[in-house]
Each structure stands twice: as structure tokens, then as C-alpha cells.
Amino acid sequence: VRILITGGAGMIGRKLAERLARDGSLGGSPLEHVLLVDVVAPERPAAEPPFEARAGDLAVAGVAPELTAGRPDVIIHLAAVLSAEAEDDLEKGYRVNLDGTRLLFEAVRTQGGGYRPRVVFASSIAVFGVPFPEVIGDDVVPAPLTSYGTQKAIGELLLADYTRRGFLDGVGIRLPTISVRPGPPNRAASSFFSSIVREPLHGREAVLPVSDDVRHWHASPRAAVAFLLHAATMDTDPLGHRRSLTMPGVSVTVAEQIETLRAIAGDGAVALIRREPDESVRRIVATWPRAFDPQRALALGFRAERSFDEIIRVYVEDELGGRVPPVAA
């Protein structure tokens, strides 16, 4: 199988590439070629070939046709500008998240000759905005209240239309906030949901900009990779015309996150969380979904963690070699 991964240098892209390198196959088919692209050439997993890494800006005309010239069977579209940056820089957000996506889908369409790859689009629960029910079911209509959420919602519509017209076989997956995210804090407004666990586990201070009663929807990076692989290989007939699915996750409050951290890493870790209310983050987060009832995704075989304890343990296994480091109180 031939695969193209955009945003291959990103957090999820790197983990996806590592997982593919470990498996050596996708859905039982051996990997023939895996092309990773990002604005700077992504690191290639040790297994090469079939891995190739290229630098390219998807929002520049002419780049997407080069990437799709080899007619990949599966395209996993992760390249994006994240929520806080898309809100701060309106032009960049629309250029990458909308124009980049459209140019990619157009490159697929104009290949012609019956080319119809599986396209997995990384959408987000940010497509939902208030007012929404406390628990969002599969029939709630996306009505985003951020530029990022709007760009993702447009991507979902394009994916559905290009699928309906027969140019591609699309699956949009609305990712929960991915926690615990490795690496330094990033430019997503949701960054603190990971920092308040990750930084204390490394013995570093973390800033909590919102109150403890904020409830949100989480899944681990490992679960995100599993969603993408399932979306790349599943039978898409049961999707009908509704090509985007809300992914399963774990609904917890910040207080529950902190108590889970305490149970795993102790009071010393929790003492490293410093409360520093930030009105702009509070305002953004207040419009975010708190819980979902993702029946369609569950029925189609998507699985996430069942508790925040499991989510922290995935971080400890995947990033800390399975050991909870002693944290100085």
C-alpha cells in the first residue's frame, strides 16, 4: 500500500509514521511507499525504504499535485495551523487549513483516470460551538465559534462533497483534545490540558489558566494514531453521505485530571501546578464541548481510553519508558 501523510513532522504525524514503521503494513497490506510531507522535511523513521520525507507547503499551488503524482492509495491529511494560531493569524489559518485542504483535494480530483484514494481528514471537536447540549450526540450540527473550527467544518463539507462526486473516499475524524501531548507547550489554546500533567511528571512547573471545574473531552496520542489507522482501512459503505465522525474519548474535569495525577505521581507533582487565571483562554475554553455520545464511531469500531488514569499511563509507557519519575515535593 502507498501512503501520503501531510503534517508528517507534527506530533501526531510522527507517532503515526513510527507506528507504521513498526507494523510494516496497513490493514494487512505491506507498505510499499510512505511519503511524509511538512513545511520542513519530517524526520524519517529508521525503516527506510519505504519511507520518504519531503519539505513542501501544501498551501502553495503546484505542491499538492507533486505529492499525489505517485497516486497514493491512502492520504492522511494532518497538516494544519492549530486553534490559537488560527485565531491570532486569520490569513495564515485560512491559507493552510482551508486553501491547503482544497488544493490537496483538487490535486486528487484532477489526477483523473478513476483515481479515488481513501482520504482521512483530521477534523476536530472544535467544529461544535455553544449552545450545545451537555452531552453532544451524533445528530448535533457543527456550528463552530472559532476560525479554526470553521476551517475544519469547511474541510468536512469539502470531504463529503468530493466523496459524493466520486473523486475520493473520505473519512473525517473529529479528534478529541489529544492528551497527554508530548513535547513543549504548543500554540493550541488547549495546551494546558496536557501541560498540567506532563510538566509535573517531568518535575517542572505548569500553569493552569482556567478553573478546576472546566470539563473537556480527551484521548491519548496513541488513541489518535489508532483512529487514523482504522479510518484508513475501515469499510466506508456504512458512512453513507455523512463522512465525518466524532471520535470516542474521556470526559473529565480539570479537578479530576489533577486527582488522577495525584494518584499516579503524588502530592509533589500536583504542587507544581500554578493557578494563573487567563481571561482570554477562559473565554475560548468556555465555548468548547465537554462530553460526547459518539455512537456512530463506536459502532464502526473506533476505540479510545476509558479513563484519564489510562490516558496518563499511556504517556508514562510511551514517553517515560514505563516509569513514573520521583517528583521532588
Ligand X SMILES: NC(=O)c1ccc[n+]([C@@H]2O[C@H](COP(=O)([O-])OP(=O)(O)OC[C@H]3O[C@@H](n4cnc5c(N)ncnc54)[C@H](O)[C@@H]3O)[C@@H](O)[C@H]2O)c1
Residues classed as catalytic? 148
Judged by CB under 6 A, the number of residues near ligand X is 24
Q: In the β-sheet with 118-124, what is the strand arrangement from edge to edge?
A: 51-55, 33-38, 2-6, 74-77, 118-124, 169-175, 244-246
Q: Which of 17, 53, 74, 96 binds ligand X (CB under 6 A)?
A: 96
CA distances from 75 to 3, 12, 64, 119 (A): 6, 14, 11, 5
* Interface stretch with ligand X, choices 11-19, 133-141, 256-264, 301-309 (CB under 6 A): 11-19
User: Applying CB under 6 A, does 219 fall inside the site for ligand X?
Assistant: no
**In terms of CB distance, is 96 or 272 closer to ligand X?**
96
Measure CA of the first residue to CA of the last residue in the chain; give whole Å.
Answer: 51
For the CB of residue 63, give the shortest distance to ligand X in the complex, in Å.
Answer: 8
Q: Does 172 bind ligand X (CB under 6 A)?
A: no
Choosing from 13, 117, 289, 294, the residue that interacts with ligand X (CB under 6 A) is 13
Of 38, 156, 169, 305, the one binding ligand X (CB under 6 A) is 38
- Asked if 17 interacts with ligand X (CB under 6 A), we say no
Residue 311 as a binder of ligand X (CB under 6 A): the answer is no
Alpha carbons 44 and 35: distance in angstroms, whole number: 9
Shortest Cβ 324–ligand X spacing (Å): 23
Cis preceding linkage at 49, omega within 30: yes
**From the list 4, 17, 34, 59, which residue makes contact with ligand X (rule: CB under 6 A)?**
59
Peptide bond into 65 cis (omega under 30): no
Are the CB atoms for 310 and 264 separated by under 8 Å? no
Site string for ligand X, 115-134 (x = CB under 6 A): -------x-x----------
Closest residue to ligand X in the complex (CB): 10
Q: Which amino acid is at 26?
A: L
Helix (H, G, I), strand (E, B) or coil at 86: helix
In this structure, what is the dihedral angle of CA atoms 192, 198, 200, 205, given to the nearest 10 degrees?
Answer: -40
Q: Which is nearer to ligand X, 58 or 160 (CB)?
A: 58
Nearer to ligand X, 174 or 327 (CB): 174
Instruction: Among 4, 5, 12, 160, indicate the residue that binds ligand X (CB under 6 A).
Output: 12
In three-state secondary structure terms, 58 is coil
The interface with ligand X within residues 70-89 (CB under 6 A) comprises: 78-82
Question: Taking the CB of residue 63, how many other CB atoms lie within 10 A of it?
Answer: 20
Q: Which three three-digit cell numbers place residue 230?
A: 482504522
Grid look-up 508530548 returns 182
72, 100, 117, 289: residue in contact with ligand X (rule CB under 6 A)? 100
Least distance (Å) from ligand X to the CB of residue 93? 10
- Nearest-angstrom CA–CA distance, 195 and 192: 5
Q: Which residues bind ligand X (CB under 6 A)?
A: 6-7, 9-13, 38-39, 57-59, 78-82, 96, 100, 122, 124, 175, 177-178
